[in-house]
Amino acid sequence: MKGNRGVGKIFIVMFMMMVIMAGCSTKKDVSSDTKKSDSAAKEGGTLVVARLSDAENLDHHFMSTINAASITHRKIYEGLVGRDKNAQIKPLLAEKWEQKDDTTWEFTLRKGVKFHDGTEFKANAVKATFDRLLDPNVGSPRAVVFKMVKEVKVIDDYTVQFILSEPFSPLLSILASHEGGIINPKTIEKYGKKIIQEPNGTGPFVFESWTPGQEIVLKKYNDYWGEKARVDKVVFKVVPEETTRISMLETGEAHIAEPLSVPMMDTVKTSKAVDVYRSEGYGTEYIGFNVQKKPFNDVRVRKAISYAVEMDSIIKGVYNNVGKRANSLLGSKVFGYNDTMKASEYNLNEAKKLLAEAGYSNGLEITLKTMDSKERINMAEVLQSQLKGIGVKVNIQVLEYGTFVEQVNKGDSEMFIISWRNATGDADYNQYNLFHTSSQGGAGNTFFYSNKEVDSLIEAARREKDQEKRKELYAQSQELEMKDVVYIPVRVIENLAAVSKNVEGFAISPSGYLEINDVSIK
């Protein structure tokens, strides 16, 4: 991206001049609803999205981030079901479904749907997709999400059954996430166990090209079965420097820049050409501990750190009160959220006492890893300053996003700042992925945490049909996780992006997926 940096300097100068000309006028934030305008939006054109980082891959059986899934989910790949704008489950590739008994779900598939190569979508594609996902020889880190699926049975060309090994209440919620996207069987045959390089699905966009570290290009699928995309092409450009991303919007070189940092938000509000997009997400941001690595294999050390963090000052100083303070790793809109949870209070004396009990009365030295975003770096520096107060020296290691994810997934970490964007809106996606013993590593449990009682509660909640009882089980598991101080909750995520005023129809789902199928450019 050397070329971008050079051009970026010119853009920055131009951008600052535009900001000055805009004066001190204030603009309202764009809500999660579609913007309205007097000017009619046009069909066609190329939508350019400037993004902080590239996708780690384009195979949703191997993806570990919503960042990557945003490229393919509901654009290239579609699932049997999806979510509407109110986050309610709706038919997608399946027209209807029925739970025939505790462990059998039957789906009637939509007719007249074609994959991007013209192959007709039928039940064999559903079976091939999930057979690949669940094949231990493929080794998908996302297989754990559908661990309960014993068999996908083809009844006829347009009827398929999911036979489960045990009752699983939130099945529809995970089928609606990116892991449930249906892949063309020909693509599966071509790539097999290898990561798919040319995704082929049924969605409104067709994969055109990927230049790693630079851009991913999608084009409109004219034979799409549903409402067709309104733009002809989408280019996801990797632009690490935020000022360059925003300047690209000012000059018309891009239409959407994401993520938008809190420090840049007020600057963007003064622009006459760009709006701030905000919406509350399902996910949370948190400080995590690798509980298998010294010194954090001792709960007293973890608890001491939690007592030494003054979170209100971080929410205000780092995030400018964008995103309310979290009390767990479930956002308040997620099913199963426990509103009675209490996070650790600020107590330096208790923190010092616990460190002394753990054998660190003279302090200790730790490494804190974070990705290369402004807020995360700022928060790391605040933590570094706060923890000095109890004799903890914090060495900050800032990593490029993909490298950061890879290292944390492998367990090459002690303490880290990270987020989890719940893809389904159900507590199971959070609890099973982040805390169940079987999910350690790339599946989400980067704490490398294991607690048999927590495992049992999570498993019981998956089987329970009574939704109120499920909530009770999740409340208990969250309390145990907090007691074990596996993490320190920071804030409920707000989705932030900078959007050109000539763009209509853009949204970010509560799960964090970029929604561009209805986008048009004026």
**Which CATH number covers residue 124?**
3.90.76.10
How far is residue 57's CA from residue 251's CA, in Å, rounded to a whole number? 30
How far is residue 470's CA from residue 492's CA, in Å, rounded to a whole number? 22
Calculate mean pLDDT across residues 108-131.
Answer: 98
pLDDT at 86: 84
First to last CA, the chain: 29
Does the residue 255 lie in any domain? Answer: yes
Does the residue 222 lie in any domain? Answer: yes
Residues contacting 478, CB < 8 A, separation 6+: 328, 329, 330, 338, 341, 431
CATH of the domain at 10: 3.40.190.10
Crossing angle for the helix pair 374-387 and 299-308, to the nearest 10 degrees: 100
Q: How far is CA 109 from each of CA 24, 118, 157, 158, 181, rounded to the nearest angstrom?
A: 55, 17, 8, 5, 14
Identify the domain boundary among 159, 191, 223. 191
Same domain, yes or no, for 380 and 462? yes
Same domain, yes or no, for 438 and 307? yes
> If DSSP codes are grouped into helix, strand and coil, which group holds residue 151?
strand
256-299 confidence digits (pLDDT tens): 999 999 889 989 999 999 999 999 999 999 999 999 999 999 99
Does the residue 71 lie in any domain? Answer: no
- As a whole number of angstroms, the longest Cα–Cα distance in the chain is 70
Please state which of the ranges 22-26, 206-210, 284-288, 470-474 shows the lowest mean pLDDT: 22-26
List the structure tokens of 6. 């050079």
How many independent structural domains does the chain possess? 3
Same domain, yes or no, for 478 and 515? no
Same domain, yes or no, for 12 and 160? no
343, pLDDT greater than 80:
yes
How far is residue 359's CA from residue 364's CA, in Å, rounded to a whole number? 10
Identify the domain boundary among 191, 226, 249. 191
Q: Looking at this protein, which amino acid is placed at residue 96? A: K
Does the residue 201 lie in any domain? Answer: no
pLDDT at 347: 97
Does the residue 381 lie in any domain? Answer: yes
Does the residue 68 lie in any domain? Answer: no
Same domain, yes or no, for 477 and 354? yes
Same domain, yes or no, for 489 and 500? no
51-61 confidence digits (pLDDT tens): 999 999 999 99
Same domain, yes or no, for 464 and 366? yes
- Model confidence at 384, in pLDDT bands (50, 70, 90)? very high
Same domain, yes or no, for 274 and 402? no
Same domain, yes or no, for 28 and 90? no
Same domain, yes or no, for 228 and 304? no
Same domain, yes or no, for 111 and 33? no
Identify the domain boundary among 166, 191, 216. 191
How far is residue 412's CA from residue 123's CA, in Å, rounded to a whole number? 41
How far is residue 322's CA from residue 140's CA, in Å, rounded to a whole number? 35
Mean pLDDT of the chain: 91
Does the residue 199 lie in any domain? Answer: no
8-48 confidence digits (pLDDT tens): 444 444 444 444 334 333 334 444 444 444 445 578 999 99
Please state which of the ranges 23-32, 241-250, 253-262, 398-407 shows the lowest mean pLDDT: 23-32
CATH of the domain at 313: 3.10.105.10
Residue-range definition of the domain harbouring residue 118: 81-191
How far is residue 482's CA from residue 287's CA, in Å, rounded to a whole number? 12
Same domain, yes or no, for 132 and 213? no
- Scanning the structure block, which residue is given the tokens 């069909």? 43
| C-alpha 175, offset from chain centre | 16
Does the residue 61 lie in any domain? Answer: no
How far is residue 131's CA from residue 242's CA, in Å, rounded to a whole number? 41
